[in-house]
Amino acid sequence: MPSRTDAVQEAVTHIQAWLAHAPPPGEAIVRQAVVLRLLHAAGFDIWNPAEVVPEETNGAGHRADFLIRAGSGTFALELKGMTVTLGPRDYQQVVTYAASEKTPWAVLTNGRVWAVLDRLHQPGGTFEEHEVLRLELGREPQPFADDFALLFDPAVWRADGARAAVARVQAQQQRRLDEARILREKTPVVADVQRQFGIASFALAAQAAAEMNRITQQERDVLLGAQTPPAGDASEGSVHFTFRALGCAAQALYLPDGTWRLLAGSQCAARRRDEPGWQQFMARRDAWVADGTLRPLDNARLELTRDLDLKSASEAAAMVCVRPVNGWDAWKDAQGRPAQHWR
């Protein structure tokens, strides 16, 4: 059974797909096709009006778009159209409603930006300063899906664990920022060591740079976890990419003829899909398992034992995570740029 994170990421992928070909939606579409879809994927019973309460005017005369109740955990949710920039009046509206419901928690969103507010967090005095966390639906679905699934897990709210979940998401977001900084600042350092000493592979150059105290061991681990360009690649003009999902790390080359070469050693999720449209895909995977092209690595992952040429970025990404994904956004080069940059 897919995890909550898988379900949220799949919902995000579908949302991004139609957003790419549509003008920014207004409030009604954001409500139906973004907010309710994501809450449902996270595990809330959107058809239960006792759990996802729409537009209820309370005794104080205040009303938010939704009041979300999971056991004793409650948060007010106010939504706007995607063209709206969230401003002071919007923050005041949702915080005031949360106060009238005697809950510290409020969420304000235009579908792309999700501001999480805690009324007990009062550093200054403006309503905006109640914001303790911000999630943004960007080009890459996985970080947003990871954060959303963790924070909006109904079990978290039933257990009164929202504040701990906020802290965990904050830590996740800071880790991503730190890793992005290391990739941006330290990749050129390792590349310089590799050129200067004629070292055959990026991995060996990273180890040498760490031993020379030009990068730290932690920075080396981040660099090698995010990118492992193959040594001695003979595909002139190709571009190397990485993709990480569901605990799997994969490497691929985008060849000049448009082929995507999934490289030996790449890991693929062992999950199965039985929905219509996936039968042919699963049959091919089963054949590759049978002939040894894919071998079990553990209960959740398979490992590619030889290079495998595929027709598209999305097909190569789907091999890794077994779900619909825009490969041009999912695959990243050594500088963290999506494959779309090279298209």
**Position 95 in a domain:** yes
Residue carrying the six token digits 């090698």: 224
Are residues 150 and 23 located together in one domain of the fold?
yes
Span 65-87, average pLDDT: 93
Residues with Cβ within 8 Å of 260's Cβ and at least 6 positions away in sequence, in order, are 252, 253, 254, 309, 310, 311, 312, 313, 315, 316, 327
What one-character DSSP code corresponds to residue 20?
Answer: T
Q: Please report the pLDDT score of residue 60 as a whole number.
A: 65
Span 101-120, average pLDDT: 94
Tokens of 231: 């040594």
**Position 196 in a domain:** no
Are residues 143 and 248 located together in one domain of the fold?
no
Facing residues of 134 across strands?
A: 115
Query: Please, is 241 exposed, middle or buried when counting C-beta atoms within 10 Å of its C-beta (0-12, 13-18, 19+)?
Result: buried
Residue 107 pLDDT grade (very low, low, confident, very high; cuts 50, 70, 90): very high
Are residues 140 and 11 located together in one domain of the fold?
yes
Residue 231 pLDDT grade (very low, low, confident, very high; cuts 50, 70, 90): very low
Are residues 16 and 142 located together in one domain of the fold?
yes
Q: Is the pLDDT of residue 227 over 70?
A: no
Tokens of 160: 């009164």
Residue 147 pLDDT grade (very low, low, confident, very high; cuts 50, 70, 90): very high
Q: Please report the pLDDT score of residue 273 as a whole number.
A: 85
What one-character DSSP code corresponds to residue 22?
Answer: S
**Total tally of structural domains belonging to the chain:** 2
**Position 221 in a domain:** no
Cα–Cα distance between 261 and 240 in angstroms, integer? 10
Q: Please report the pLDDT score of residue 2 as a whole number.
A: 55
Q: Is the pLDDT of residue 104 over 60?
A: yes
Better-scored residue on pLDDT, 238 or 240: 240
Facing residues of 303 across strands?
A: 267, 295
Containing domain of residue 144, as a range?
4-160
Please report the DSSP string for 59-117 in residue order: TTS-B-SEEEEETTEEEEEEE--TTPPP-HHHHHHHHHHHHHTT-SEEEEESSSEEEEE
Q: What is the pLDDT of residues 51-62, one digit of tens each?
A: 999 987 766 667
Picking from 53, 242, 222, the residue whose alpha carbon sits closest to that of residue 142 is 242
Task: Note every long-range contact of 6-10, with CB atoms under 8 Å and residues 24 or more positions apart, other chains counting.
Answer: 6/246, 6/271, 6/323, 7/41, 7/42, 7/43, 7/149, 8/38, 8/41, 8/42, 8/145, 8/148, 8/149, 9/141, 9/142, 9/145, 9/146, 9/149, 9/245, 9/323, 10/41, 10/323, 10/324
Are residues 156 and 13 located together in one domain of the fold?
yes
Domain of 36, CATH number, reads 3.90.1570.30
Residue carrying the six token digits 């139609």: 18
Q: Please report the pLDDT score of residue 226 as a whole number.
A: 58
**Position 194 in a domain:** no
Share of the chain above pLDDT 90, in %: 39
Which one of 143, 160, 177 terminates a domain?
160
Are residues 129 and 266 located together in one domain of the fold?
no
Which one of 110, 129, 160 terminates a domain?
160
How many residues appear in the chain?
Answer: 343
Span 228-235, average pLDDT: 39
Spatial contact of 165 and 153, defined as CB atoms under 8 Å apart: yes
Which one of 141, 160, 179 terminates a domain?
160
Cα dihedral across residues 52, 56, 58, 62: positive or negative? positive
**Position 45 in a domain:** yes
Q: Please report the pLDDT score of residue 222 as a whole number.
A: 84
Are residues 110 and 247 located together in one domain of the fold?
no
The phi and psi torsions of 329 (rounded to 5 degrees) equal -95, -30
Span 89-99, average pLDDT: 93
Span 317-343, average pLDDT: 85
**Position 59 in a domain:** yes
Q: What is the pLDDT of residues 160-201, one digit of tens each?
A: 899 999 998 999 889 888 888 998 899 999 999 988 988 877
Residue 343 pLDDT grade (very low, low, confident, very high; cuts 50, 70, 90): low
**Position 38 in a domain:** yes
Span 233-247, average pLDDT: 73
Q: Please report the pLDDT score of residue 17 as a whole number.
A: 87
Q: What is the pLDDT of residues 283-297, one digit of tens each?
A: 888 888 888 888 888
**Position 315 in a domain:** yes
Span 208-222, average pLDDT: 88
Q: Please report the pLDDT score of residue 82 as a whole number.
A: 95
